[in-house]
Structure 1
Amino acid sequence: MTDERRTRLSPDERRAQLVAIGVAALADRSLDELTIDVISQQAGVSRGLLFYYFGSKQGFHREVVRAARDGLLRATEPVLELSPLERLHDTLSNLVAFVREHEDTFFSLVRGAASGDRQVREVVEQARALQCERVEIVCRELGVPDTALLRVGLRSWVAFAEQALVDGVLGGRMSPDEAVDFLERSLVAVVVTVDPEQGARLGDALRSAVVESPAQTPDAGLVPGLA
């Protein structure tokens, strides 16, 4: 009995374990297919325990999506020491690498935006807002005026980039280098639409830039259950 108590997980550890199992399970099934029965069977716990920790299937889904979101954001964290264009290229390279490494997780995260659960959608929207903010910072540092229209354009580009990654990378239609180049050029096109003069300058700078920093492979350990 003493040994059993010593190895028994604390509530926080058990909760984290269940979320990690849920994130890992996204490799084999969609978020909608991530049921309490499936997770309780894989974790070797009762259904009641999952309801105790998460309240409902939707509550569990929210925590799984939040863990996947946080892993994506950490894996694509901008390296502030890089110049703006190098930082953009590095971030996009890491994003493509994450998508290739965790295909089903990324797909489920993107599709979480269409979830019937409002709080699940909010989790995904928080990730989109931060990704948009990262690109806004690059644009401002490159001299692109911060306008309401630019923010609308960049927010639209984030959604466009997600779909491009699903169709191009997950669909096998683009190599990693092609995907990064496509995302960079599409971003320039957005800026050109908003501000033709600044967009042209950004395009010229991007074409002439020599990016020396290699893409960094996201650390699977950043997200529990991603391997």
Structure 2
Amino acid sequence: MDDIARQAGAAKGLISYSFHSKRGCCLAIVQDSVAGLVASAVSGLGLPPAGRVHRTVDGCLRYAERNQAAYRTIVTGGVGFDAEAHAIRDQVREVIVTTLAEGVYGRADVSAPARTALLSWVRGVEGATRDWIGRPGPTRAARCDPLVKTLGGTLRAVAVLDPAHPAPAPARRDA
């Protein structure tokens, strides 16, 4: 709380009063961070599907690269078990799954197998991103391309499980 007050240029008592508790302050920080991650994820709405997916993944990676502690907090749901922090994390995942479904299938209301596959892919991207920011290694671009390509495999698997959700034809990305 001292560090937050110092960064904000405010008295610690004012910070405590404004957020009612240390937990309230932490949740506010997570919610503010989530807004930045969601904005990155849904940018590029006017792009073709392949470009949109690339932009979404690159936006998430860029956010994680620039906000490592916040990204870790978001995807893990905070320190320990906190139902509100987990709800915030789940809302972010839902926005990303919905964005992907709309980009790939043209609608947000997809079947259970399609939703499960997209959510699994999103969680895989989260894990790969946490691994990437935790150690020196490939550039963001070098990390982005394989993650985008694995979505193609996920979509082909969905098409096998649920023919009502065919995989889109491979396309070149326009970024």
Q: How many residues align?
A: 172
Structure 1: distance between partners of 2:56 and 2:132: 18
Give the match for residue 95 of structure 1.
60
1:126-151 deviations in whole A, cap 9, x for unaligned?
1111011111112213x9x9311111
1:43/1:200 CA distance change after superposition, 3 Å: closer
Q: TM-score, normalised by structure 2?
A: 0.83
Give the match for residue 46 of structure 2.
81
Give the match for residue 152 of structure 2.
188
Secondary structure in 1 aligned to 2:77?
helix
What is the RMSD of the two structures over their aligned residues, measured on CA atoms? 2.6
Give the match for residue 130 of structure 2.
166
Find the partner of 1:210 among 160, 172, 175: 172
Give the match for residue 125 of structure 1.
90
Q: TM-score, normalised by structure 1?
A: 0.66
Structure 1: distance between partners of 2:26 and 2:133: 25
Q: Looking at CA atoms only, which structure, 1 or 2, has the larger radius of gyration?
A: 1
Deviation at 1:189, TM superposition (A): 2.3
**Maintained 8 Å contact 1:169/1:175:** no
Q: Where does the alignment leave 5 or more consecutive residues of structure 1 unmatched?
A: 1-35, 214-227
**Maintained 8 Å contact 2:19/2:25:** yes
**Maintained 8 Å contact 1:169/1:176:** no
Q: Aligned residues: percent identity?
A: 24
**Maintained 8 Å contact 1:113/1:121:** yes
1:148 and 2:112 aligned? yes
1:131/1:67 CA distance change after superposition, 3 Å: same
Structure 1: distance between partners of 2:97 and 2:32: 19
Give the match for residue 112 of structure 1.
77
Structure 2: distance between partners of 1:108 and 1:79: 25
1:171-212 deviations in whole A, cap 9, x for unaligned?
23332222222211222222233323879854xx33xx3323
Deviation at 1:54, TM superposition (A): 0.7
1:184 aligned partner, one-letter code: V
Find the partner of 1:51 among 16, 19, 25: 16
